[in-house]
Amino acid sequence: MSSLNGALAIATGALQAEQGALNATTNNVANVNTPGYSRVIPVLVENPPVVAGSLTYGEGVSLQKLQAVRDPILQLRIQEETQQQGQFNSLVSSLQQLQVNFTSSSSDIGTQISNLFSSLNQLSTDPTNLSLRQGVLTAAGNLATTFNNTAQNLTQQQSSLDLNVSQDVTQVNTLTTQIAQLNTQISDLQGLNQDASSFVDQRDVLIGQLSNLVDVSEIRSDNGVTLTTGNGAPLVVGGQSFALSTQTNAAGFQDVFSQGNDITSQLTSGDLAGAIQARDQTIPGLLSNLDTLASGIANGLNTANQGGYDLNGAAGGDIFVAPPASGAGYATNIAVQITDPLLIAASSDGSAGSNGNVAALSAVANQPIAELATPNLNEQDSPATLSAGDVLTVGGQTSVTAGGTTFTYTAGPTAGANLNEVTGDVATLTAATPLIAGDVVTATRGGGQLTTTYTAGAGATVGDLVQAINSGVSSATITVDGTDSVHSGYQGALVGGALHVVDLQGNNDLGVVETGHAVVSSGAPFTPTAAATSAVQDLINAINGDHTVGAKAALVGGTLEITDPQGRGDIAVTTTDSVLGATIAGAPTALRTPNISTGQTPTQYYSNIVFAVGNDVSNATAELTSSQAILQQLQDQRGSLSGVDLNEEASNMVQYQRAFDAAAEVVTTVNDMLYTVINMGTLTG
């Protein structure tokens, strides 16, 4: 129906619509410099027409909504690239600090190695000269100090990266809390059918910041955004945030936990992953290389010095404090053993003026650096050794009686035997050996979630126990305590007369077969002979030689340590018999694998370290640069889509103003027409 009042209503509606559109422009202009702001465009729609007879009348315009212009896919790409950039940024900045230690200078390790061997060359020209002898000691001291300083710098940086990890986790938690709150606000507003655009923008900014720290997977659903880490640990689900936490690991560093699960090694991008990579891989790798180098030089010179005679005519001793077998921590601790220059064994025959042994000392410069024992182990001190008469105790018992006979220990399987293959090795502790009532074997599986205790009943034998464990069935003579039925994943074996129980069961929900969760105990007490040292060594060899188990073992200061070379956080290290009264109790150890092959001279080895450091920095920098370029391009794309263009806004404003003016003119005209209509009666009357 057409009427003047109708026309007036259409014009008024137009006024309102244009005013609303102008409001969008105003807001866009106001937020021209707001980070993360997405421009808003008014959505104007034609009102449904009215049909009167054969005529269809338009009903004007209304402002349906103000719509923010954003592309969620682009936003996701930006987040992904931000994570990459965060990781490389963190990695590059820490690596750049690292490589300073390996930059060529008058006091770098390479120069100090050269200086030491030069001083030995000088000594050969006059082996009785005390100042030349002192020169060798000084050069050795300088080399040791340089190793110490370099290793300490690396360790300090490791500590500061560790602090970084804690701070990143705190920041992640702050951000996830804020994002969860925004999720609530957004869904509340959307529930009321209101515009949540400004909150969505804020949330995108926060997710961007979060992406810089940690790898974030984003799932958008009705109740807002769900955020998880790349491997699925929850961060934000709707209005709820899940805080990450940290726990100190055995190496003294913070592991990252989500809901009780250690996710440290599963973080793949973001600043956190970069810091963890440098802290747990790059720096330990470098330290391990330095340890190997320092040990190689020290062992070489010590051996050479022992082969000669000092100025007093006595046989030479160590020049450097002897490194531990694994070399672990040696770069930090290397020191010169002797202070008296007379003790350098220059002489090969005991005569004071002989320089015959200097050639042997100098030859260390051309000797290959040897691979060290159990390089996977973070060894703290020298291995303890057993001697004849030492008693291994089991369950507090030192008795050697088993089945009425005295039990004599002999060495078990040959070195390198596969732990799985030695089942049934009953060389000494025979299957028929009766268990003593009260002997307890405890098996802990998969990080300690399940514990099964086997208690020997009267008349049970070791064979029964092995069978029970391997078959997963309890026998009449073995009582099985605990709620977990005996698992087929356990492997029982007699190794060197000791019973070992190994869990070969994969923890399937991690998708990786977890092995090396060895639990070792003995069914019967026994006394070792002189071969006792090799008893523990046999176990070590058996574990190290078994590639299916994949664990590495070593005796560290009386503690049997078993490491997981895959380097996961949940390295299982377990207990065995008490040695010399000291409980063999394991602690998780950091993975330290030298990434430079041995068999090279000290200088070649060092030059390879320099290459490795330089290459790491150079690769990471290249990755960072490309990541930055991509991110910039993506930001550009986002800007071209969502950024506010003042010219555009000005032209929109003019457009809206004109339309408003026109609508106002219509109102005036309709008003005039109404006036005319109202006055029609007066004119005729």
Partner 1 sequence: MSAIRTNPNPMPDLLAALQQLQQQTNTANLELATGSKINVPSDDPAGSAQLVQINALSSQVDSFQRSISSISGQLSTADSTLNSVVTTLQQAITLGVEGANGTLSDSERADVVTQLTGIQSQLVSLANTTYQGQYLFSGTATNQPFVADASAPSGVTYAGNSGVNSVTIGTGYQLQVNLPGSQIFNGTGADVFHSIQDLITALNTNTAIPAAVNEVSSAFDHVTAQRVFYGNALSQTQSQQTYLSTETLGLTQQTNTISSADVAAVATQLTQDQVAVDATLSSIGRTPATSLFDYLK
Question: Would you tell me the crossing angle of helices 270-277 and 197-213 to the nearest 10 degrees?
Answer: 10
219 versus 641: smaller Cβ distance to partner 1: 641
Which residue do the tokens 């609303």 mark? 20
197 versus 362: smaller Cβ distance to partner 1: 362
Q: Is residue 103 part of the contact set for partner 1 (CB under 8 A)?
A: yes
How far is the C-alpha of 590 from the C-alpha of 281, rounded, in Å? 10
C-alpha separations of 89 from 327, 563, 621 in Å: 32, 31, 8
How far is the C-alpha of 583 from the C-alpha of 236, rounded, in Å? 44
CB of 643 to partner 1, least distance (A): 5
Q: Is residue 289 part of the contact set for partner 1 (CB under 8 A)?
A: no
287 versus 572: smaller Cβ distance to partner 1: 287
CB of 114 to partner 1, least distance (A): 4
Q: Is residue 557 part of the contact set for partner 1 (CB under 8 A)?
A: no
Q: Is residue 115 part of the contact set for partner 1 (CB under 8 A)?
A: yes
Residue of 23, 268, 626, 635 that binds partner 1 (CB under 8 A): 635
Instruction: Give the 3-state secondary structure of residue 455.
Output: strand
> By C-alpha distance, which of 666, 647, 652 is closest to 23?
652
What residues from 603 to 622 belong to the interface with partner 1 (CB under 8 A)?
603-604, 606-608, 610-618, 621
CB of 274 to partner 1, least distance (A): 16
129 versus 167: smaller Cβ distance to partner 1: 129
C-alpha separations of 71 from 29, 78, 79, 333, 634 in Å: 21, 11, 13, 57, 11
Q: In angstroms, what is the C-alpha Rg of the chain?
A: 38
What residues from 182 to 241 belong to the interface with partner 1 (CB under 8 A)?
none
Residue of 48, 54, 73, 104 that binds partner 1 (CB under 8 A): 104
Q: Is residue 118 part of the contact set for partner 1 (CB under 8 A)?
A: yes
Residue of 152, 170, 414, 632 that binds partner 1 (CB under 8 A): 632
| Interface region with partner 1, contact rule CB under 8 A, candidates 163-171, 321-329, 406-414, 600-608 | 600-608
115 versus 176: smaller Cβ distance to partner 1: 115
Residue of 126, 195, 262, 623 that binds partner 1 (CB under 8 A): 126
Planar angle of CA 157, 160, 161, nearest 5 degrees: 85
81 versus 503: smaller Cβ distance to partner 1: 81
The amino acid occupying position 29 is V
CB of 49 to partner 1, least distance (A): 26
381 versus 661: smaller Cβ distance to partner 1: 661
Q: For 315, phi and psi rounded to 5 degrees?
A: -60, 140
Instruction: Give the 3-state secondary structure of residue 490.
Output: strand
Give long-range contacts, CB 8 A cutoff, 24+ apart: 487-490.
487/445, 487/450, 487/452, 489/445, 490/443, 490/445
CB of 167 to partner 1, least distance (A): 25
268 versus 281: smaller Cβ distance to partner 1: 281
> By C-alpha distance, which of 330, 248, 324, 236 is closest to 290?
330
**Straight-line distance from the first to the last Cα atom of the chain, in angstroms, rounded to the nearest whole number:** 29
Burial class (CB in 10 A: 0-12, 13-18, 19+), 457: middle
Structure tokens at 2: 């057409």
| Interface region with partner 1, contact rule CB under 8 A, candidates 109-117, 223-231, 285-293, 530-538 | 109-117
349 versus 421: smaller Cβ distance to partner 1: 349
Q: Is residue 426 part of the contact set for partner 1 (CB under 8 A)?
A: no
46 versus 636: smaller Cβ distance to partner 1: 636
Q: Is residue 114 part of the contact set for partner 1 (CB under 8 A)?
A: yes
- The DSSP H or E segment spanning 176 is helix 130-191
Cβ–Cβ < 8 Å for 417, 545: yes
CB of 619 to partner 1, least distance (A): 9
How many residues line the site for partner 1 (CB under 8 A)?
66
110 versus 567: smaller Cβ distance to partner 1: 110
CB of 143 to partner 1, least distance (A): 13
Q: Is residue 131 part of the contact set for partner 1 (CB under 8 A)?
A: no
Contact characters 57-96, partner 1, x per CB under 8 A: --------------------------------------xx
Q: Is residue 167 part of the contact set for partner 1 (CB under 8 A)?
A: no
Half-sphere exposure of residue 507: CA atoms within 13 angstroms, side-chain side: 16
| Interface region with partner 1, contact rule CB under 8 A, candidates 125-133, 395-403, 497-505, 543-551 | 125-133
Which residue do the tokens 């996830």 mark? 176
Cβ–Cβ < 8 Å for 202, 38: no
Burial 295-327 (b: 16+ CB within 10 A, else e): bbbbbbbbbbbeebbbbeeeebebbbeebbbbb
How far is the C-alpha of 608 from the C-alpha of 4, rounded, in Å? 91
What residues from 324 to 383 belong to the interface with partner 1 (CB under 8 A)?
347, 349, 351-356, 359, 362, 365
| Interface region with partner 1, contact rule CB under 8 A, candidates 73-81, 465-473, 492-500, 632-640 | 632-640
CB of 195 to partner 1, least distance (A): 23
Residue of 60, 61, 117, 258 that binds partner 1 (CB under 8 A): 117
Q: For 461, phi and psi rounded to 5 degrees?
A: -115, 170
What residues from 640 to 669 belong to the interface with partner 1 (CB under 8 A)?
640-641, 643-648, 650-651, 653-654
The amino acid occupying position 200 is V
388 versus 641: smaller Cβ distance to partner 1: 641
548 versus 618: smaller Cβ distance to partner 1: 618
CB of 100 to partner 1, least distance (A): 7
> By C-alpha distance, which of 672, 673, 670, 656 is closest to 14?
656
> By C-alpha distance, which of 169, 150, 45 is closest to 105?
150
- Please provide the size of the chain in residues: 685
How far is the C-alpha of 536 from the C-alpha of 531, rounded, in Å? 9
How far is the C-alpha of 314 from the C-alpha of 299, rounded, in Å? 20
What is the DSSP secondary-structure string of 126-149? -TT-HHHHHHHHHHHHHHHHHHHH
530 versus 646: smaller Cβ distance to partner 1: 646
Which residues are at the interface with partner 1 (CB under 8 A)? 95-96, 99-100, 102-104, 110-111, 113-115, 117-118, 121-122, 124-129, 347, 349, 351-356, 359, 362, 365, 603-604, 606-608, 610-618, 621, 628, 632, 635-637, 639-641, 643-648, 650-651, 653-654
